[in-house]
Structure 1
Amino acid sequence: MIFKSEGRSKILDSDELTGIIEGILFGAGEAIGLNDLCRCLDKSPLEIRFVMEILKQDYQDKARGMRLVQIKDTYQLSTKPEHYDYIREVLKHKQSTGLSRAAQETLAIVAYRQPVTRLVIDELRGVSSSSAIQRLLDRGLISDAGRLEAPGRPILYKTTPEFLRSVGFTNLEEMPEFEVFSQGKQEQFDLNGIETNNKQE
């Protein structure tokens, strides 16, 4: 098997390819299309589907906390439904903690560029934003705004009424002027008030 990377070709066995695809699905945090995987990895649909069957069988083990979800020709990693109660319990205790720098940066981008895809957020921040986006979704500060009419139909994100309530605005027009980026460097957007407002209520 051949995997193209940085203009070079590397021979991969099935275990390596399985690990790469698993990493892609985990890092993406959303459904990835079969065609996108084929193009990225320079593999045929048959090869990708073979790896997906390996992953699917692996995740069926009761000891695994993840599952592989397939909807038509898209694949996504998800937690198993039987573990939701435990996940909610952990997240409930994390609600009182503040937003990380990554989450603040991500929220600022969504607020000023919405609706926006994860790929755009990643490009603006220069790093993966999957975990930050999930954190903001868990907090109810951003939500799914549909899908972009583009290859792969990536998810669009927007802020929620909870975000406006938390920062003390009644609508998006009240938000201050903000130059998102200047030569690749993001200006500060102070969101510490979110925690203060939430605690006061």
Structure 2
Amino acid sequence: MSADLKKTIEALLFSTSEALPVRELHRVLAEAHEQSLADAENDQGNSEDDDFGGEATIPPPPGTSRLREIIRELRDEWRAADSVYDVAETADGFRMVVRPVYADAVRLLRKEPRPARLSSAAMETLSIVAYRQPVTRSDIERIRGVSADSALSRLTEHDLVEAKGRAELPGRPTVYGTTEKFLDFCGIRSVEDLPSSDVLSPARLDAWLSEDDEEKSPDNADMGLPESEAEAPASEGESAEEIRVEDETEEVK
């Protein structure tokens, strides 16, 4: 009798609270396959003490791409069945998790504190860092229009953002980027998996920074002059020099 490969993978996901890398999953399945073959050949297993449930053999594992497909099939089946379980895919691998709707009850059972919520300012800053990284503090502040000190400190405290080095700019300012915990927080493998955004696209962010760099020509208000003191424009066909000469003539008269 051969064990079901998908159910075996489900059992392995269920058995660990850590993310399971696909290569590690492949290694375990390969070893389990070899061991089950040896047990069957030696006729040493039985339903009571065999590690793999009697004479059942573990099928040989497919390639890593197919393993990923099987895990995603499991995830889709659980969601279709409205199961309490889900699969989180992170940079470290796949992890079996409880759906968010049941998270509060699980936290109470395990006596874990409720995770801190991020403010809207922190979320805005995190979004800019995620889509723009590596990014300096000054760039974040120019995009948001306000100080980023508090938001960056909070994001760093929660290990969602970290310093990634220094920019090749005057003063060598620190540049920031997202962390592995951020990927886990979002349930993605890399920042390339972030959903596309017209608002936070590189082109839009660059445009905001360019607009901030453009110098505005000072008007009368900027110069502290009332509108009544503004010099009247010359009429069509009449130069400013001609107006000045006429004014001097009036004074002589």
Tell me if both proteins adopt one fold, taking TM over 0.5 as the criterion: no
TM class by shorter chain equals: 0.3 to 0.5
Provide the TM-score with structure 1 as the length reference: 0.43
TM-score (norm 2): 0.34
Greater C-alpha radius of gyration:
2
Higher strand share: 1
